[in-house]
Amino acid sequence: MNTPSDDRGLKIGIFGGTFNPIHLGHLRSAEEIRDTFALDRIYFVPAARPPHRSGDTLVAAPYRLRMVELAVADNPFFQASAVELERTGPSYSIDTIRHFRRTLDPAALFFIVGLDAFRDIHTWKDYATIPALCHLIVTSRPGVVSPLPEQLLPVALQAALWYDPAHTMYRHPSGHSLVFHEIHGLQISASQVRALLRQRQSIRYLVPAPVAAYIADNALYQPEECAE
């Protein structure tokens, strides 16, 4: 496996998501990425106000952050980040990347994004700037048929990136790279977890035990709270 390399010290992953709630699929995916790309740490960044999500099934951001904190507490390589809760306005990825660029410089940053979200990257604020600031790891899930990577790159990124066949990655003049990486992890989704909770069914072994306990204690995702 070829991995993007950067010799400027630490390699830090940034894994954004709604985490509504965080589940073992997220954690296994992050672990595979940490291992494959030899990352020193991964920050899990819950979106406070995701610009592309409707809010009716989204529990309040402090609950989602707390669940992330509980989920990563036993892993020294994983850390929850409240950075998007500390900002006002919509949670734009570019602002989060700039925050980590500022606070962690000169670490090499690896922004981790699912293929589902990457398909819409052309709608993101200042998306063409992202490869100038960090590496991109675009993850797909097993069983999900994905188009060829070149069909997924929006025009502005096609112009800025070129394909390096020897390392099976795209490269940017800044030295950053974009890699498509298939996750072999767990087929779990937050929608599935919420659906089970709405039906008052068990979510055991789908989310970490402390997260399941927190959901129960705070009566999150109960039938009366979900309009989905």
Residues of this chain that interact with ligand ATP (CB under 6 A) are 17-20, 25-26, 29, 113-114, 116-117, 139, 141, 183, 185-191
> Is residue 76 within 8 Å of residue 40, measured between CB atoms?
no
Element (H, E) at 178: strand 177-182
Residue 153's closest CA among 183, 130, 133? 130
- 21 or 131: whose CB is closer to ligand ATP? 21
Smallest separation, CB 126 to ligand ATP (Å): 19
Cβ distance to ligand ATP smaller for residue 11 or 181: 181
| CB of 106 vs ligand ATP, minimal distance in Å | 26
User: How near is the Cβ of 198 to ligand ATP at its closest, in Å?
Assistant: 13
Secondary structure (3-state) at 181: strand
Task: Give min distance, CB of 7 to ligand ATP, in A.
Answer: 28
Instruction: Choose among 115, 97, 123: nearest CA to 180.
Output: 115
User: Measured from the CB atom, is 34 or 141 closer to ligand ATP?
Assistant: 141
Nearer of residues 17 and 149 to ligand ATP, judged by Cβ: 17
Taking CB atoms, the residue at the shortest distance from ligand ATP is 114
Nearest to 66 by CA among 223, 225, 196, 218: 218
Return the C-alpha torsion angle 48, 53, 56, 60, nearest 10. -10
